[in-house]
Amino acid sequence: MRAISIVAVNVFRESVRDRVLYNLVIFALLLIGASYVLGQLTAGQDVKIIKDLGLAATSLFGLFIAIFIGIGLVSKEVERRSIYALLAKPVTRGQFIGGKYAGLALTLTVNVAAMTIGLYLVLGYMGWTETAAMKASWEAPAADPALLKAIVLITIELMLVTAIALFFSTFSTPILSAALTFGLYIAGRFNADLKNLDQVVTSRTTIWIARAVYHVLPDFSAFDVKTEVVHGLPVAPGYVAATAAYGALYIVALLVCATLIFSRRDFK
Amino acid sequence: MTAAPTSAVAVAVALGALGGAIGLQAAKDHAYPRADTARTRVLYVRSPAAMKRVTFGFEALTADVYWIRAIQHYGGDRLDKGGATGARRYELLYPLLDIATSLDPYFNIAYRFGAIFLGEPYPGGPGRPDLAVTLLRKGIAAMPHKWEYYHDIAFVYYWRLHDYKAAGEWFQRAASQPNAPNWLPAVAASMVSRSNDRATARFMWQQLLQSEQAWVRRNAERSLLQLEALDQIDQLQAIVARAGPSAGAYSWAALVGRGVLRGVPADPAGTPYTLDPFSGHVGVSSTSSLFPMPAEPARQQ
């Protein structure tokens, strides 16, 4: 456990040194700028749009961090040949993979937490400065705690993307890993189409294969409850818990596979 | 040269170049004005289903973009009053609202915005109450218990299409939804039994005046002023008919000169009424903010 935490802290420090957290400044400027401009353009929908924008930016910035840092977690060590020094130390390959993953997960969590605080501050300010009549027309309060449900699922989704990127980076080049991770993310977004393929084809074999692929591919659309929370629609805690558990199991499976592949790699 | 002066020179050159570029662009825009407006009227993807595919989970944010475009499109064409050639006819308003509501099926304001403004007669709107009903039906498919959408459809049938039977049915459906206000059954009964009258219209607009949405309240205020103008026009029309023409023509100046009126009458928005010199018809000026006036619902006999 100590070895994992040492690797994880180093990954976090490296991402800070690489100025990854600078995206928070862009996020803050985006939200503050948008909150000022949108009031003039949106016919009273500025709070809804700030929520949409904040959640989308949290998801998108995190996605880029997860993919572009995730694909380099292992390959960078191999390219720089620092992997030799690392594996010569009392660190197993499983601990190395676990530590790398935990480090980037920590970076993403800090990033999402900072963005969440920024989003709530902007929404809180908008709620504070708005008239009671305008507030009555909102579907949900400005600084609505229900937004946290969407943010929790976004965080788990990003951790799943990180696990996929890390998995590919154990046996592939960074460019190919990025392409495969993006591909899997997009396929996972449209996963529901595979489930409903029986509505457009009659072949039992095709339907069976589509169902199998549907279950094997990560279902990224399940993590998206942004629209529901923004409109103040109920999202059952059970749904959030089940989706989080689904993501966690998928992450475990990917990390185990990544460790297996990485353990078999010969660095001689 | 040492490092500090070199950096200072580099910063000065960069700032000078940037300042020059900004100044040149401003001068260029002044000398060669760009026809940017034509570009904003383009809608590359008209299919809501295709748009949903390419947004990759960012449907709500994309819906917001289309919502902002719909407002700009409507506001631009409304201010333009049909343009010099009359070519601007809100042709993108429905497709923009359709895409916005397909990407975000719970986009309440987009449905209600559509109901009111798609039905508005030209040049105040596209004059397409049929599309207003289509959009609201889409809203009902997404949120079947939202009484406001049933109410808005009823209103379109009543105020724009003058189909009082359909309006009464939709008011009844609105009344049967959960959380529907208690005045809806009375309005539905009024539609069915009496067809309608100006008092009913006034009552319904007064209900909308209590809306939480500022733009609904503004629209209700304008409509109530239009109803007031209709009352005033009736009174003025009677006065003009009683007084008759002066030297073969009708004019406000003659009526004021003869002491029939104390001054040129103005509509509730403050713009003088028009008086047709040949027919003696009193109307609202096209320069008034109340123009165009609604086609008046049938009066109770």
Closest alpha carbon within chain B to A182: B56
Q: Give CA–CA dist B2/B43, Å, rounded.
A: 56
Question: pLDDT digits over A111-137, tens only?
Answer: 899 999 999 998 998 888 888 877 777
A60 contact residues in B (CB cutoff 8 A): 58
Closest alpha carbon within chain A to B107: A231
Task: Verify whether the Cβ–Cβ distance A136 to B68 is below 8 Å.
Answer: no
Task: Verify whether the Cβ–Cβ distance A60 to B67 is below 8 Å.
Answer: no
Question: pLDDT digits over A88-111, tens only?
Answer: 888 888 899 999 999 999 999 998
Q: Residue B301 has what pLDDT?
A: 36
| pLDDT tier for residue A178 given thresholds of 50, 70 and 90 | very high
Angle at A107 between CA A103 and CA A108, to 5 degrees: 115
Cis peptide before B181 (omega within 30 of 0): no
DSSP E strand boundaries for chain B? 274-275, 282-283
B56 contact residues in A (CB cutoff 8 A): 186, 189
Instruction: Answer yes or no: are the C-beta atoms of A127 and A142 closer than 8 Å.
Output: yes
Name the one residue in this structure whose structure tokens are 């400065």.
A129
Q: Residue B106 has what pLDDT?
A: 93
Cis peptide before B123 (omega within 30 of 0): yes
Residues forming a β-bridge with B282: B275
Q: Residue A146 has what pLDDT?
A: 92
Inter-CA distances, A92 with A83, A99, A102, A254, A260, Å: 12, 10, 15, 17, 12
Q: Rounded mean pLDDT of A29-56?
A: 79
User: What is the helix (H) or strand (E) element at residue B106, kind and residue range?
Assistant: none
In angstroms, the separation between the Cα of residue B16 and the nearest Cα of chain A is 26
ipTM: 0.78
- Of B199, B194, B191, nearest to B227 by C-alpha is B199
In angstroms, the separation between the Cα of residue B64 and the nearest Cα of chain A is 6
Inter-CA distances, A160 with A9, A45, A248, Å: 20, 32, 8
Mutate to test the interface with A, among B40, B103, B106, B216 (most CBs of A within 10 A): B106
Helix-helix angle B93-103:B108-119, to 10 degrees:
160
Instruction: Answer yes or no: are the C-beta atoms of B63 and B107 closer than 8 Å.
Output: yes
Question: pLDDT digits over A188-241, tens only?
Answer: 888 878 877 777 778 888 888 888 888 888 999 899 999 999 999 999 999 999
Name the one residue in this structure whose structure tokens are 């489930």.
A195
Instruction: Name which of B56, B60, B72 is nearest A186 (Cβ-Cβ).
Output: B56
B215 contact residues in A (CB cutoff 8 A): 43-44
Q: Give CA–CA dist A80/A96, Å, rounded.
A: 16
In angstroms, the separation between the Cα of residue B74 and the nearest Cα of chain A is 12
Instruction: Answer yes or no: are the C-beta atoms of B147 and B173 closer than 8 Å.
Output: no
Question: pLDDT digits over A51-62, tens only?
Answer: 998 999 999 889
Q: Rounded mean pLDDT of A243-255?
A: 94
**Amino acid making up residue A49:** I
Q: Give CA–CA dist A205/A198, Å, rounded.
A: 10
Instruction: Name which of A42, A137, A221 is nearest B67 (Cβ-Cβ).
Output: A42
Q: Residue B79 has what pLDDT?
A: 74
pLDDT beneath 70, residues of chain B: 1-4, 35-42, 81-88, 192-196, 212-213, 295-301
A61 contact residues in B (CB cutoff 8 A): none
Q: Residue B36 has what pLDDT?
A: 57
Q: Residue B300 has what pLDDT?
A: 40
Classify A153 in phi/psi space as left (phi over 0), alpha (psi -120 to 50) or beta: alpha
Q: Does B21 touch chain A (CB under 8 A)?
A: no
Instruction: Name which of A44, A221, A228 is nearest B57 (Cβ-Cβ).
Output: A221
Q: Rounded mean pLDDT of A53-82?
A: 87
Question: pLDDT digits over B61-116, tens only?
Answer: 899 989 988 888 888 777 776 555 555 678 889 999 999 999 999 999 899 888 88
A43 contact residues in B (CB cutoff 8 A): 71, 109, 113, 215
Q: Rounded mean pLDDT of A239-251?
A: 94
Instruction: Name which of A133, A190, A220 is nearest B212 (Cβ-Cβ).
Output: A133
Instruction: Answer yes or no: are the C-beta atoms of B210 and A133 closer than 8 Å.
Output: no
User: What is the helix (H) or strand (E) element at residue B96, kind and residue range?
Assistant: helix B93-103
Give, as one character, the DSSP assignment of residue B57: T
Mutate to test the interface with B, among A53, A61, A137, A228 (most CBs of B within 10 A): A137
Task: Verify whether the Cβ–Cβ distance B58 to A48 is below 8 Å.
Answer: no
DSSP A153-221: HHHHHHHHHHHHHHHHHTTS-HHHHHHHHHHHHHHHHTHHHHHTGGGT---HHHHHHHHHHHHHS--GG
B72 contact residues in A (CB cutoff 8 A): 41
Would the CA dihedral through A31, A34, A38, A40 be positive or negative? positive
Q: Residue B32 has what pLDDT?
A: 82
DSSP B248-269: TB--HHHHHHTTSSSS--B-TT
In angstroms, the separation between the Cα of residue A218 and the nearest Cα of chain B is 14
B106 contact residues in A (CB cutoff 8 A): 139, 227-228, 231, 233
